[in-house]
C-alpha cells in the first residue's frame, strides 16, 4: 500500500510546521477562489500534503529551492498559499475611495497651484478637476461661497513631513499665490505637521505620525 504519511515542510519564516495536501496544493496553485475560512492564521495554519511516493521527511528552508511535489515547486505552492491567505474578502458594500470637493474661487489659478505643490491633475471637465498624490485624492470644484471656503479644512497624512514642507517651500507658492505656510510643529496627538492655505483660503494640515 502506498505510504500516505505527510511531508513535514519547515520554513524559516513560518512558526511550526506546515503541511500541504497535494490536491489542495494544486487547487491553491491554479485557483485563487478559495474560501477565507480555509486559510485562517496563515503563519500557523496546518494543511496536509500527501504524496504516495514519499515517506515522512523534514525539509529545512534551504532545501525548499527546487523541491517539487507532482511537478509543482513547493516554494511556489507556499507563496500562492500565503498570497491567497492574505487576500481581502470581497463584499457588495466594499468601499474603494472617498474624496472631498474642494472649493475654488479662481478655478484656473487653483488648478495650477495644486500642480505646483506636487499634486497630479488626472482629469478636468465640467467644472471639476480630479487631483491625486499617490493614493490620496480630492476633487477641485469651480464653486465658491466665502463662508464655506473660509471654514474648509483638508488633512493630508504623509510619510515624510519635512520633505513635503521643503517641496512646498521651494515651489515659491507663498510669494506667487499669496498663500501662507507655517513651520512644522509637534502636536500632542503624536503627529508633527504644518499648515498651508490655498488661493481660495482652504486650510490644509499636512502631517506625519510620530512615535
| pLDDT (tens place) for every residue of the chain, 211 residues total | 444 334 343 333 333 334 444 455 445 444 433 333 333 333 223 333 333 333 333 334 444 556 665 566 766 666 666 666 566 667 888 888 999 999 999 999 999 999 999 999 999 999 999 999 998 999 999 999 999 999 999 999 999 999 999 999 999 999 999 999 999 999 999 999 999 999 999 999 999 999 8
User: How far, CA to CA in Å, does 1 sit from each of 5, 52, 105?
Assistant: 12, 9, 82
- At 65 the pLDDT is 57
For 125, the enclosing helix (H) or strand (E) is strand 120-125
Instruction: Indicate whether this model's pTM tops 0.85.
Output: no
- At 67 the pLDDT is 64
- At 18 the pLDDT is 43
- At 20 the pLDDT is 47
Q: Domains in the chain and their CATH numbers? A: 8-85 (no CATH), 101-209 (3.10.180.10)
User: How far, CA to CA in Å, does 114 sit from each of 90, 102, 168?
Assistant: 34, 11, 10
- At 9 the pLDDT is 38
User: Rounded to an integer, what is the distance from CA 126 to the centroid of its chain?
Assistant: 30
CB distance 26 to 76 below 8 Å: no
- At 90 the pLDDT is 74
- At 55 the pLDDT is 33
Q: How far is residue 166's CA from residue 33's CA, in Å, rounded to a whole number?
A: 46
Amino acid at each position: 500500500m502506498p505510504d500516505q504519511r505527510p511531508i513535514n515542510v519547515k520554513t524559516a519564516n513560518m512558526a511550526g510546521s506546515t503541511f500541504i495536501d497535494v490536491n489542495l496544493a494544486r487547487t491553491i496553485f491554479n485557483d485563487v477562489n478559495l474560501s477565507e475560512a480555509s486559510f485562517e492564521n496563515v503563519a500557523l495554519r496546518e494543511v496536509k500534503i500527501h504524496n504516495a511516493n514519499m515517506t515522512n521527511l523534514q525539509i529545512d528552508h534551504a532545501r525548499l529551492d527546487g523541491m517539487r511535489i507532482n511537478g509543482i515547486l513547493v516554494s511556489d505552492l507556499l507563496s500562492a498559499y500565503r498570497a491567497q491567505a492574505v487576500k481581502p474578502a470581497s463584499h457588495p458594500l466594499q468601499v474603494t475611495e472617498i474624496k472631498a470637493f474642494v472649493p475654488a474661487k479662481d478655478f484656473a489659478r487653483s488648478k495650477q497651484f495644486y500642480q505646483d505643490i506636487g499634486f497630479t491633475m488626472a482629469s478636468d471637465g465640467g467644472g471639476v478637476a480630479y487631483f491625486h498624490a499617490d493614493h490620496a485624492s480630492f476633487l477641485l470644484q469651480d464653486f465658491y461661497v466665502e463662508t464655506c471656503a473660509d471654514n474648509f479644512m483638508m488633512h493630508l497624512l504623509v510619510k515624510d513631513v519635512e520633505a513635503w514642507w521643503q517641496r512646498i517651500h521651494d515651489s515659491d507658492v507663498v510669494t506667487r499665490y499669496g498663500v501662507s505656510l507655517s513651520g512644522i510643529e509637534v502636536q500632542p496627538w503624536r503627529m508633527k505637521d504644518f499648515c498651508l492655505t490655498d488661493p481660495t483660503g482652504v486650510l490644509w494640515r499636512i502631517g506625519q505620525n510620530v512615535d
